[in-house]
Structure 1
Amino acid sequence: MWTRLFCFGHCLHIAIERSMRDTRIDRPVGVCKKIVSVFLHSWKKQRTLKDAQAELGLPPHKLVTESPTRWGSRQKMIERILEQEKAITQVLAADRSTRHLVPTWQDIEVLDSVSKALGPLLDFTDALSSENYVTVSCLKPTLHLFNSELLQGKDEDTDLTRKIKSSILDYMNTKYGDQEVQELINMATILDPRFRTQYMSQEEILVIKARVVREAESLSAMPSDAGSSTPVMSSESTKEAQSASKRQRKSLGSFFKKPAAEMTTTLSETEKIEAELNNYLHGPLADGESNPLTWWKVHEVNFPNISRLVKKYLCVPATSTPSERVFSAAGNVVTCQRSLLKPATVNMLVFLTKNLKV
């Protein structure tokens, strides 16, 4: 279920593919593919395109090829075609054999509608595919942003743009609408000091707080490393330590320090965790650009029970992209020329590839 739940990029890619199943989109996208193919296989066309870009004052960008295995490549192809429309039209219209590929105003209108609907989603796909920072806790804020802003219909949107946004929004809400899925996402969100309960309703807050207390209590009841044997000091070292303690002068604070037995309270373990959770939730939100793991490393002393749950939930990636990158790294290590590598050697080389910083 974790793979089905947190592969956000794959879910978004499927939602986009489903929204593109419209007969109005087929011809403009097909024209884009043919245009890219013409310029890709002709160095003369590429040189002429550069001259046209310089003449029209357009950025000297190359056209983008759509790749079925790369998320958002179709949208990037469409955006580049729209950006270089004038230069492409000038080059294609000058050649009789490619004049029929000049996009019509209907094609441009459809491509512009698609770009307005899908353009803002690419940034989230790239951001959530990272493996260097926490991503799972960003799922609920991202879905909230989709529902409240990015995929909401606007007055200037065309009918096609509204249909694409509605299709994507319905699929994503259905995919992440399961109660168990929502609880897992809420657990990760509430443990992120950047969000906490910011994107939750009052009913969700009550349910998640009860679950946090219940899981934290169960983790605190687990045996720890406290039972490990402590080193036994020799008689000589004991005498030296006693003499050193006799020579050490007491500070002013030591007179007010009470024994641990006198500091015990009547609070139960559940009440302690509830108080700890309330203190955490009522604290100020961390900066949006900060690393939540760094924040918890600093504040682990203040929230020891809640920090155990952080290690359980915030380590989950939001997409399967990091694992796919590991498979790609393994494919670059095990080649036809290196097919006799032992499994242990392959594991070591892949580990060094992913973790060694040059």
Structure 2
Amino acid sequence: MTAQPVNDGFRMPAEWTPHERTWMAWPSPNPTFTNEQELAEAREAWGAVARAVRTYEPVTLVVSPGDAENARAIAGAGEGHPLTVVERELDDAWMRDIGPTFVTDGAGGLAAVDWTFNGWGAQEWARWEHDSKIARHVSDVAGTRTYSTPLVNEGGAIHVDGEGTVLLTDTVQLGEGRNPGWSRRQVEAEIHAHLGTTKAIWLPYGLAGDYGTYGTQGHVDIVAAFARPGVVMVHTQPDPAHPDHERCKTIAALLRASTDARGRQLQVVEIPAPTVLEEDGEWVDYSYINHYLCNDGVVLCSFDDPRDEEAAEIFRGLFPERTVTLVDARTIFAGGGGIHCITQQQPKV
């Protein structure tokens, strides 16, 4: 029988537990960034996130060979915790999805889950020859044991409360591009075996804009996220003109009717979407849910929008012991994700 983390006492801690460091990947030329200007803008955006995270904890940046100097100049600028650069071949720059999911055993042990990665469901534009190996590279650099699984999954497609509950999405784990032939029961069994969870709450879909060209087909980390056990934040679209208006009402109602692994009825906190509805003729999936929790901090997406400060106030209320740092995420969203999508926590053990 293949070794499974849960049998060795490992589970995925909640994101709000202390971190050893944050892992990120550096943008390099690829189909997501179609020209030098887009690549330069992406590097500035990724660098701004790295600098914000370094306010709270160390960052290790995986860069393509030859990009180390550029990465250090942008991401390592200013004061803060150390920036470490590791050179490995990359296809893209979404560390949440290509990197490992770290798990701990509560006794000083750290391990890494290496999901099968296939370019978000083998999308036509995606490349993953190198990215499919990044989780193991990161695990090797971190000096941890690696557990591999045939389940196609990404870090942005799961969210845990640290007490046995995981959020999933029908169109991701059960999508034909990822796990054809897998039943819901089989997916849950594999997820639980690798995260140490015992209950999955399935959302029917993600945000409408996440099904576009560079979308993930419904990642949960742009829709809903636990703030603490029993409390889940959910994206809400107040404007009836946007297709997410009805989607979000359905998702919020589903979550309110759900209980977690310990039998608690979930408390739902709605986070209103930014006021902008379209960008370049397409529905936006701009979302404050796609934040990142650091040691003593929250790095929160901003969009130069009137609702930025409203969202920041909600997060300050949910995380009163943390400092909220706003970082413009519009360039990151243009590439298909947000701040949570480009960061991956390594928990402290």
Normalised by the length of structure 2, the TM-score is 0.23
- Give the structure with the higher percent helix: 1
Structure 1 or 2, whichever has the larger Rg, is: 1
- Give the structure with the higher percent strand: 2
Normalised by the length of structure 1, the TM-score is 0.23
